[in-house]
A and B are shown apart, each in its own frame.
Chain A
Amino acid sequence: MKGSRLRAALTPYVLILPGGLWLAIFFVVPMIVMLSLSLHSGNITDGFVFTWNWRSYLDGIANYHDQMIRSIGYGLAATIITIVVGFPVAYWIAFHGGRRKNMYLLLLLMPFLVSFVLRTISWQFFLADDGILLGPLKRIGLLPDDFHILATGTAVVLGLAYNFLPFMVLPIYVALERIDPRLLEAAADLYAGRLQTFLRVVLPLSLPGVFAGVLMTFVPACSDYVNASILGGASNTMIGNVIQNQYLVAQDYPVAAALSFTLMAVLLLGIFLYARALGSEEVLEVTVR
């Protein structure tokens, strides 16, 4: 009797152990190592020493604030595009998908069967100056001959939006799918037309999904470097490219680590402000319904 009660009390901790250990070893430990590294001084040949060297942060911000701001801007733009494109897709699958819902969701996830880098490279062909998109448009004279998208910020943002679209669609779909269809009938019964029903009932109830989708899109989009390096030009580098460069090329580990933490702080602050603006309490309240 006593043994079984003890077991019942221990069960939750036992269940959390694998995931907890995983996070501890592969997330918390590297974070601490990185944090300490960002306060080291020295260079790759003479070695790095821990010296509470805050200069790496100041240097990083002084030298790379352009890329930092550009990353946030690109991330925001990509996130807005995914909302605009993804919401109708999620809405259509949730309310008009019928019995084929799962098939549509599978189609949405199909691109994930191909590697992230390969997909981005395919966009390089797609957006090429004489590629399948621009080529015909130039030939029929809709676009001037010197028009190009590749190696511009637009290409990077489009690539980001394309790559992260499913992360926006899925949470919105889940939120919409959970809406009791009788709520829509109730709204219609109470004299709301289709637009009013959407604005007053569907949209507010989908906000938790939009909230989750924004987190899952904005954060990785801001720190991405693949799209900028494949689709962007020299003036489109993002902070991810800088960090990668500092680690692998310049091998200035403290600055790379300091930049990583700066980015993280900026993103956390952004998320915090966003949650406050949207009213996280409201969002959570609807979620736990």
Chain B
Amino acid sequence: MTEIQVGRAAAGPAAVGRPPDRPEVPAIELEGVVKDFVSRGEVVRAVKGVSFSIAEGEFFSLLGPSGCGKTTTMRMIAGFEEPTSGRIRLHGVDVTDVPPNRRDVNMVFQSYALFPHMNVWENVAFGLKRKKVPEPEIRRRVGEMLEIVGLTGREKSRPRELSGGQQQRVALARALVNRPRALLLDEPLGALDLKLRQQMQLELKRIQREVGITFVYVTHDQSEALTMSDRIAVMNDGAVEQLADPREIYERPATAFVASFIGTSNLLSGQISAISGDVATVRLGDRGRVLLNGGGHRLGESVQITVRPEKIRILPGEPEGDVSAVPGVVSEVVYLGTYNSYAVTLDGGAEVTVFEQNAHDSTGTAERGDSVWLSWQPHHSYAIGSASSR
């Protein structure tokens, strides 16, 4: 892992970051990357020591709210920002000090950044021309790429004559035609409307599979990240809160931030009052109990538990058996098409959201003002690890 491919780096202007022969070397590696900005004389730490590695061919997302450092992290991978400290490696080659035009990664910009004075063809051919690829090969590759993104026939159009979705495809083609070792995408679908965005999500995924290139995708849209990614790094306040696959992120959020940022989540806190086998019980109010799996808990320990709205069932009476059971009053019912959303106020005043699918043509299980019991399986309770220590 420590072997540095200097010989390859010297091979040509665009050769930095070419893959070494061993496939297990990650496509992108960040090691303790820190970025400080100076704003009005004050040092602001935008990225606070981020480390992760992205495998070859992976669809990797950086997800977080605006200002969390995800875009800065990506810009450091692209070479537009220099890390204050830490190292960045592409295929094992340290590129921390290599300028963007000599890194073998390409970027799709948020606003596309298409050259307004060039037509579609000239935009897409720009990178190949700078790399002095022979003219016949440029013609062939640009033609192929325009076909992949479905823009054959629009070669002579100027960017401003294209729709947002088409401009997006030009930006994608302009980057991909260079066959970069990794493609960086900075909120590329942000400017599109919902329908087109969903269509492009699937399209991006298809193209990624087709070209087999590592994608690093920056987004603040959690559903987008969940839909497309192999793995997601959830960032908050300049640090990675959790790095895992979408299912893990959704089902087992590592921190309260991840739980609340990804989807809708219910947070309940209490103390462990009983442990039997590998099931711990948390008392909630006078009558409620929350069961959770997994050992490692101590009696009397304070825990924060998340449970997803769609895992909870609404029952008219107290359920029997080894399930969580919490009483409350329905305070709101919202019809949302494919499902109903219930807000249930617990005895202690906490509010819990419950989703119930409209699988049957019923009008719903409960109405506003009903006294109900909420119930879910022990393995759907998830105790947030070190939430209190952050």
Contact = CB atoms under 8 A, between A and B. Distances in A.
A205 B116 contact: yes
> Which one of A180, A191, A193, A204 has the greatest number of beta carbons of chain B within 10 Å?
A191
Interface in B93-125: 99-102, 106-107, 109, 111, 113-117
Contacts of A183: 113, 115-116
Interface string A65-86: 0000000000000000000000
A186 interface: yes
B116 to A, nearest CB: 5
A190 B174 contact: yes
B117 A191 contact: no
Interface of B: 13-14, 78-80, 99-102, 106-107, 109, 111, 113-117, 126-127, 130-131, 158, 160, 174-175, 178
B115 A201 contact: yes
Contact of A182 (B113, B117, B131): B113
A188 B113 contact: no
Given A186-B174, A191-B14, A191-B102, 10 more contacts: A185-B100, A186-B115, A187-B115, A187-B126, A188-B79, A189-B175, A191-B127, A201-B115, A204-B117, A205-B117
The SS class assigned to the A binding surface is: helix
Nearest to B186: A182
A149 interface: no
A89 interface: no
A276 interface: no
A187 B174 CA distance: 11
B113 A186 contact: yes
Contacts of B99: 188
Interface of A: 180, 182-183, 185-193, 196, 200-201, 204-205, 282, 285-286, 289
The SS class assigned to the B binding surface is: loop
A192 B114 CA distance: 14
Contacts of A190: 101, 106, 126-127, 130, 174-175, 178
Contacts of B113: 180, 182-183, 185-186
A188 B101 contact: yes
Given A191-B14, A200-B126, A285-B158, A186 B117 contact: no
A185 B160 CA distance: 20
A187 B178 CA distance: 13
A191 B116 contact: no
Nearest to A191: B130
A187 B114 CA distance: 10
Contact of A189 (B107, B116, B117, B158): B107
A190 B14 CA distance: 10
A205 to B, nearest CB: 6
A232 B79 CA distance: 55
